Chains A and B, each alone.
Chain A
């Protein structure tokens, strides 16, 4: 089992719709969770971080964390074509002895006009 799993996609949504991206992780002691956006050939850009169960909203983005079920999700409201990118989920792994981030392989999102 991979430490961090994401559906590779592509996830296709029409402009204006809600895009829902999901991520599951295997290490129950993980404490910090991140969503990065990566355009093709570019570097990952931090979108959201979440540390507590529940929802965290920032503009059109909402991160949701459920530690009991070991999943974290990202909702993008009013999706725009400029949101088309690969979204990477990252989880810290304190059991390795330091604050190491483990990345999923990413979900590709396509927003059509």
Chain B
């Protein structure tokens, strides 16, 4: 079984709709991240969470919100989707409790391809 799972894997929605992307992990990691990827722009950080009670905005948080329901679950919501939110969305995790040299290694889920019409 995959250590980091994302649902749905593909989603087509219409402008103005509210949607939620979910991420679950069995790695036991405390840190979780949401990124979006657009062609030619690389990975951009949307939100990150160090633990259930700690959530922080990333570079491009406008139009998005998140919820850390448990250590293993981190959801991303688009309150009112717009076409320029069409992208690949990735969840990632890292472990702050491991060896110091490895605490910033991030592991990615399979991604969600979101299309907003």
| Interface of A toward B, CB cutoff 8 Å | 8, 32, 34, 36, 41-46, 49, 51, 88, 90, 92, 98-101, 103-106
Contact = CB atoms under 8 A, between A and B. Distances in A.
B42 A51 contact: no
B90 A43 contact: yes
B110 A32 contact: no
Given A46-B107, A100-B45, A41 B113 contact: yes
A7 to B, nearest CB: 13
B94 A99 contact: yes
Given A99-B94, A101-B106, A43 B111 contact: yes
Report the contact-size class of chain B (Cβ under 8 Å from the partner): 20 to 34
B101 A51 contact: yes
A105 B113 contact: no
A72 to B, nearest CB: 15
Interface in B76-107: 88, 90, 94, 96, 101-107
Contacts of A42: 110-111
